Amino acid sequence: MDKNYASGTAATCSWCHSEAVAEISAALAKAQSSFPSLVADDTNPHFKNKFASLPHCLSTVREALTANGLALVQFPHSADNRLTVTTKLFHVSGQWMAGDLSVLADMSNPQKVGSAITYLRRYGLCSMLGIASRKDDDAEDAVRGGYQRLPQEEAPAKQPAKQPAKQPAAADTNGGGVTIMSQAVAEWGRASGTSGIEQVRNELFAPLGATGLRSLGQELWPNLLDALGAWYQDVGMDPGPRYRRAMEMINGA
Q: pLDDT, tens digit, for every residue of 83-110? A: 999 999 999 999 999 999 888 888 888 8
136 in a structural domain: no
Same domain assignment for residues 26 and 106: yes
129, 151, 185: which is the final residue of a domain?
Answer: 129
28 in a structural domain: yes
Average pLDDT, the chain: 75
Same domain assignment for residues 52 and 161: no
Task: Report pLDDT for 196.
Answer: 61
107, 129, 151: which is the final residue of a domain?
Answer: 129
Using CA atoms, how far apart are residues 187 and 171, in angstroms rounded to an integer? 19
Out of 99-103, 141-145, 190-194, 202-206, the most confident range is 99-103
3-state SS track over the chain: CCHHHHHCCCCCCCCEECCCCHHHHHHHHHHHHHCCCCCCCEECCCCCCEECCHHHHHHHHHHHHHHCCEEEEEEEEEECCEEEEEEEEEECCCCEEEEEEEEECCCCCHHHHHHHHHHHHHHHHHHHHCCCCCCCCCCCHHHCCCCCCCCCCCCCCCCCCCCCCCCCCCCCCCCHHHHHHHHHHHHHHHHHCCCCHHHHHHHHHHHHCCCCHHHHCHHHHHHHHHHHHHHHHHHCCCCCHHHHHHHHHHHCC
Instruction: Please classify residue 69 by burial: count the beta carbons closer than 10 Å to its beta carbon, then call 0-12 exposed, 13-18 middle and 19+ buried.
Output: middle
Same domain assignment for residues 124 and 146: no
81 in a structural domain: yes
Contact (Cβ atoms closer than 8 angstroms) between residue 60 and residue 155: no
Using CA atoms, how far apart are residues 185 and 140, in angstroms rounded to an integer? 8
124 in a structural domain: yes
Same domain assignment for residues 27 and 122: yes
Same domain assignment for residues 7 and 117: yes
Same domain assignment for residues 114 and 24: yes
Strands 16-17 and 96-104: antiparallel
Same domain assignment for residues 96 and 150: no
Same domain assignment for residues 125 and 152: no
129, 157, 181: which is the final residue of a domain?
Answer: 129
Whether the per-residue pLDDT at 29 is higher than 90: the answer is yes
Same domain assignment for residues 8 and 122: yes
Same domain assignment for residues 19 and 112: yes
pTM of the model: 0.54
Q: How many domains does the chain have?
A: 2
Range of the domain at 160: 141-251
List of residues 6+ apart from 80 with CB closer than 8 A:
none
243 in a structural domain: yes
Using 50, 70 and 90 to split pLDDT, how confident is the model at 25? very high
88 in a structural domain: yes
